[in-house]
Chains A and B, each alone.
Chain A
Amino acid sequence: MTITEPAVEEPIEEMRERQGLLARFRSSWAQWWFAYAMLSPVVIVIAILVLYPLAQGVWLSFTDATGKTMGDVRNPPSYEFIGLKNYVRILSGELKNSVGQNFWSVFGRTVIWTGANVFFHYTIGLGLAITLNRKFVGRSLYRIILLIPWAMPAYITASSWRFLFNETSGPINAILSIFGIAAVPWLGQPIPALVAVIMVNVWLGIPFMMVALLGGLQGIPEELYQAAEVDGASPWQKFRLVTMPLLRPVSSTVILLGVIWTFNMFVIIFLVTGGGPASSTEILVTFAYAEAFTVPARNFAVASTYGILILSILVVFASIYRKIAERSGDSVWS
């Protein structure tokens, strides 16, 4: 008789888990059908706009689809499944462009590009946010001015900077010449060109970091600073022991976002240098574009493979980053 007792006592949750999947769905449907119905438009739209193209991209990366085999209104598609061949060709470095750039050389540059950009975005953005977090005359005007880079269309930004970098008549070289420095071929040699595009993107990305971090700073209670002052903390100690730890939830989120955005930042490089000179400022996204769309029969299969590789790299990065952030006790991630 005592054997049946635990079954009666069993919590509903556990009982649910014992039921079959279908039965569980049925009971959940009976209870929540209205919520599902309300969710369905979003689910359908996401499926059409995100999941379907993603699945299509994954599928194409396993084929030999080009503009010619892709088919059109008159001809049916004629591309074939070729397994992991695209991945092998790209990851082995076999697929390279005419000046010898391959996936790994471009990946290395993409890491430098992303690291340098996010580092300067964060440090300069934090500096400006701390400055703007104090009360001084004209603060709101400063804030608006500092937001301008963000509000400007990328095309305008790119062409303005291309003008500034002009080797013969650009203002930057004109200023350098005042100090007796010879004209720098900003967009003509590999290293200056990489420095140049990073400068443009740093300029462009600071406002976002500044605004996000300013929001984080304003959420830190004033009392903590007062308490630190009572304990005799120096400004540096206050920054290190109060500001930084309390800013961490915001910081870790914006840095992750910054890395993803910068890694995939196409327009600036495309519009300022076009990936040149001689492919020396190409990052993965611009490289994939050049490899896919500047050949006559557009190589959709290789382009998709690059897309999936870039996505995989970012997913791996984001999950590792999340683990680290969780371990250091950020509540926003759990």
Chain B
Amino acid sequence: MRGLKKFAVLFAVLALLAAACSSSSDETTTTAAAGGETTTTAAAGGETTTTAAVADETTTTEASMSESTELTLWHTFNEGETPTLDGLVSACEAETGHTVNVELVPFAEAQNKFKTAAQAGEAPDIMRAEIAWIAEFADLNYLAPITGMVSAEDADDYLEAPSAYGKYAGQLWAVPQATDAPAVYYNKALLEENGIAVPTTMEELKAAGIAFNEATGTPGIGTIKGGYWTQIFVWAFGGQLMNDDGSEILINSPEAVAGLDFYVSMQNDGAIQEALDFANEYGNVQEAFKAGEIAFNINGPWQSSDLLGGDAFVDDPSNLGIFPAPPGPGGQGSPVGGHSWVISADAMDAGIDAAAYEVISCLNSTDAQVTWAVSNNILPTRASAYETAEVQANAVIAAFGEAMKVAHARPVIPAGGAIYTAFDANVQAAFQGTMTGQEAMDNIATAWVELGLGS
């Protein structure tokens, strides 16, 4: 009797515990129960089990081939862009017959969140990934290859630099959704007032920043003192980050160092803002440019809607001028960035990658890209989109189209995003004056070796 009572109490306690946990693991419990049944069948006779398994498989295949598949999509669009996405998703749901569950993931978290989800087998079916993440995700086997899915027509239509980011290890993993390359924004009225001509070289740009400083007391150019932006100067002086496959690091070559030294000299000579406030810098530069306090602003197309809303441009949008990053003594160009659509390996395992590509293909059609360009000034990745009248009528996109022509693609390597951690920290140190350009670049090269580059 006593033993029975003990068991009863223990059982009650464990039941309580199980009840507390069950709300989150309902699905698992059901699966386990189903598994249990199969086992029973197996005990009765091997053949029966095989039949059951085959039947099961057939059911799954049928489900995936059916007209309507439920897909999850993670994106990193901002507030202004989300309504455009929602509109396109509804249209594509109607067109493809699939259901798409859209989830916004903040850009800063998206990379780690996707990796964690994919490791657990719970990745979203479709994701809008930053171009630097694609090789990394593919290298970790988290993506489904889409090599055979993209039609020859589409493959021809996509611009070369943005689609290069989707090619890794002999396969295609992504189609580009948006592209960008920084250029130089300028305030036409301020240039005229101060008698400054539109610069055509790096030296002239620096001189214009100094001239503006002498006339108004404020350095004329706003920039961001980070690795991404330093690339513009590295390329202008004939340097490179590394060779195409990352097997040789070139960031500490004399040309690249000359580029960083020139960028730092722009600060020390009063051409760009002297403030060292890395945490607030981005916002400060945009506010100063919008208020008409500075004449130049090196930034990407994503910033254009915000800039046009500033006091200096809101009444007269034509006051905003844009020219590509000017050439230096050794070259010219700004880094190609952007975002691409990828399909997760989990979607492939579930047999719904074809359905996922149908949705992507619809979301990335020429019409859709024109909608993005017109509504949000997002640069299209299809040559056909640039030819439409709507896109050609958009002055901002047309100007950035010019910047795209001289833009550089970054190396397509798994460490594509991680290279900026060391890059930023050491460029900051160079601007602080605690390191010379050569020391900073040498440190970056050493850190990149630790990331597995340079061999």
Stretch binding the partner chain, chosen from B5-13, B93-101, B190-198 = B5-13
Of A38, A98, A99, A169, chain B has the most CB atoms within 10 Å of the CB of: A98
Partner of A296, one of B284, B417, B428: B417
Q: How large is the interface on B (under 10, 10 to 19, 20 to 34, 35 or more residues)?
A: 35 or more
Which of B111-119, B181-189, B202-210, B332-340 faces chain A?
B111-119
Contact of B112 among A169, A273, A293 (CB under 8 A): A293
Kindly supply a per-residue 1/0 record for chain A positions 232-270, scoring 1 wherever the CB is within 8 Å of any chain B CB and 0 otherwise.
000000000000000000000000000000000000000
Q: Pick from A37, A189, A272, A290: contact of B276, CB below 8 A.
A: A189
Q: Return chain B residues, CB-CB under 8 Å to A103.
A: none
CB of B393 within 8 Å of the partner chain = no
Query: Contact between A98 and B10 (Cβ–Cβ < 8 Å)?
Result: no
The answer to whether B426 touches A98 (Cβ under 8 A) is yes
Pairwise interchain contact A296-B414, C-beta atoms closer than 8 A: yes
Are B418 and A272 neighbours in the complex by a CB distance under 8 Å? Answer: no
In the assembled complex, which residues on chain A have CB atoms less than 8 Å from the CB atom of B429? 99, 277-278
Contact A72 B118 (CB under 8 A): yes
A296, B425: Cα distance in complex, Å: 17
Residues on B with C-beta less than 8 A from A169 are 284, 287
B6 and A37 contacting across the interface, CB-CB below 8 Å: yes
Which residue, of A68, A277, A296, A297, has the highest number of chain B Cβ atoms within 10 A?
A296
Tell me if A111 counts as interface (CB < 8 A to partner B).
Answer: no
A168-B284 contact given A72-B121, A189-B432, CB 8 Å threshold: yes
CB distance from A85 to the nearest CB of B (A): 16
Say whether A296 contacts B278, CB under 8 Å: no
Q: Give residues 9-35 of B contacting A (CB, 8 Å).
A: 9-10, 13-14, 16-17
Cα distance A228–B186 in the bound complex, in angstroms: 74
- Give bound CA distance, A90 to B140, whole Å: 26
A298-329 to B contact mask, C-beta < 8 Å, 1/0: 10000000000000000000000000000000
Q: Which residues of B contact A185 (CB under 8 A)?
A: 275-277
Q: Which of B208-237 contact A (CB under 8 A)?
A: none
Q: Closest A-chain residue to B448, C-beta based?
A: A98
Determine if A274 is an interface residue (Cβ-Cβ < 8 Å). yes
A163 to B277, CA, bound (A): 11
Q: Is the interface of A mostly helix, strand, loop or mixed?
A: loop
Asked whether any CB of chain B lies closer than 8 Å to the CB of A224, the reply is no
Which residue of B6, B115, B279, B451 contacts A67 across the interface (Cβ within 8 Å)? B115
A97 adjacent to B275 (CB under 8 Å):
no
Chain A residues positioned under 8 Å from B434 (CB to CB): 190, 278
State whether the Cβ of A330 lies closer than 8 Å to any Cβ in chain B: no
CB <8 Å contact, A100 and B13: no
Contact of B13 among A40, A99, A163, A189 (CB under 8 A): A40
A179, CB-defined interface residue at 8 Å: no
Given contacts A169-B284, A183-B275, contact A278 B426 (CB under 8 A): yes
Q: With a CB–CB cut-off of 8 A, which chain A residues contact B62?
A: none
B141 and A296 contacting across the interface, CB-CB below 8 Å: no
Give the residue among B13, B279, B284 with the most A Cβ atoms within 10 A. B279
Interface membership of A75, Cβ < 8 A: yes
For A34, give the chain B residue with the smallest CB separation.
B9
Complex Cα distance, B139 from A317, in Å, reads 43
Cβ of A296 and Cβ of B136 under 8 Å apart?
yes
Q: Which B residues are in CB contact (< 8 Å) with A6?
A: none
> Chain B residues near A38 (CB, 8 Å)?
13
| Cβ of A52 to closest chain B Cβ, rounded Å | 14
Beta-carbon contact of A186 and B277 below 8 Å: yes
Q: Is the beta-carbon distance between B443 and A99 smaller than 8 angstroms?
A: yes
Any chain B CB within 8 A of the CB of A283?
A: no
Which residues of chain A come closer than 8 Å to B284, judged between CB atoms?
A: 166-169
Q: How far is the CA of A40 from the CA of B444 in the complex (A)?
A: 53
Does residue B377 face the partner (Cβ distance < 8 Å to A)?
no
The answer, yes or no, to whether B152 is at the interface (CB within 8 Å) is: no
Which chain A residues border B115 with CB–CB below 8 Å? 67, 298
Interface string of B114-149 (1 = CB under 8 A from A): 010011110000000000000010011110000000
B112 to A, closest residue via Cβ: A293
Q: Which residue of A lies closest to B10 (CB)?
A: A37
Question: Residue-by-residue, is A144-166 near B (CB-CB < 8 Å gives 1, otherwise 0)?
Answer: 00000000000000000011011
- Residue pair B279, A187 in contact (C-beta under 8 Å): yes
B428: chain A residues at CB < 8 Å are 276-278
CB contact list, A80-113 vs B, under 8 A: 97-100
Q: What B residues does A290 contact at CB under 8 A? A: 421
Please state if B277 and A295 are interface contacts (CB–CB under 8 Å). no
Q: Is A188 an interface residue (CB 8 A)?
A: yes
B315 at the interface (CB under 8 A from A): no
Docked Cα-Cα span, A170 to B136, in Å, equals: 39
**Interface, chain B (partner A; CB < 8 A):** 6, 9-10, 13-14, 16-17, 112, 115, 118-121, 136, 139-142, 273, 275-280, 284, 287-288, 345-346, 349, 414-415, 417-418, 421-422, 424-426, 428-429, 432, 434, 443-444, 446-447, 451
Given contacts A72-B141, A167-B277, A277-B429, 9 further A-B contacts (CB under 8 A): A70-B119, A73-B121, A165-B280, A166-B280, A169-B284, A277-B276, A278-B425, A296-B418, A297-B140
Q: 26 A–B contact pairs at CB < 8 A?
A: A73-B120, A74-B141, A75-B141, A98-B447, A99-B426, A99-B429, A162-B279, A168-B277, A168-B288, A169-B284, A170-B280, A185-B277, A187-B277, A187-B278, A187-B279, A187-B280, A188-B278, A276-B278, A276-B428, A277-B278, A277-B425, A277-B432, A278-B429, A294-B418, A294-B421, A297-B140
Going nearest first, the 8 A-B pairs with the smallest beta carbon separation are A188-B276, A73-B121, A98-B422, A98-B447, A167-B277, A278-B429, A185-B276, A167-B275
Please list the residues of chain A having a beta carbon within 8 angstroms of any beta carbon in chain B: 33-34, 37-38, 40-41, 44-45, 67-68, 70, 72-75, 97-100, 162-163, 165-170, 183, 185-190, 272-274, 276-279, 290, 293-298
